[in-house]
Amino acid sequence: MTTPINEGRTTFLFISSVLVMFMIIPGLALYYSGAVRDKNVLATIHQTISIVCIITITWMICGYSITFAPTMISTDFLPIYGNDERLWLLGMSIETRHQLAPDVPEYLFCFFQLTFAIITPCLICGAFAERLRYPVSNSSTLLSPLLLLFR
């Protein structure tokens, strides 16, 4: 039997996730575009939006499963890594709950964690604005979460 949904925590997670997304897409994109020369404004905004897209697709394919897939281990010991149970977010529905947030729907927990997986490379993106070419920054954006962040 699953734990009933706590409306307060669910609402808080949803509002927090939306605020972080507003902080990423218009906030960081416009902030970093104000820190570069005029000819690189559009490229910087595009770089931030492409990072959002790359991390979201990577998160849906394997990131959530590697990082937060529920395991059958007792609640006394939580594993460091997930497993392949949630690849492509399979098996996730409104009835499923994650063991770290048992009173919140798992898809909302997944979205909440996704926002922080997105903002980390976006913050790093500001360090190499105007310094890296676009293909190099995209490949580093794709490889660094797989190697570092999702573990």
Q: What pLDDT does 72 receive?
A: 62
Mean pLDDT of 143-149: 77
Mean pLDDT of 13-39: 94
Size of the chain, expressed as the number of residues it contains: 151
106-116 pLDDT, tens digit each: 999 999 999 99
Question: Both tokens of residue 42?
Answer: 């559009």
Task: Answer yes or no: is pLDDT of 120 > 70.
Answer: yes
44-101 pLDDT, tens digit each: 999 999 999 999 999 999 899 888 876 665 556 666 667 788 899 998 988 999 888 9
For 44-77, give the DSSP string: HHHHHHHHHHHHHHHIIIIIHHHHH---SS-TTS
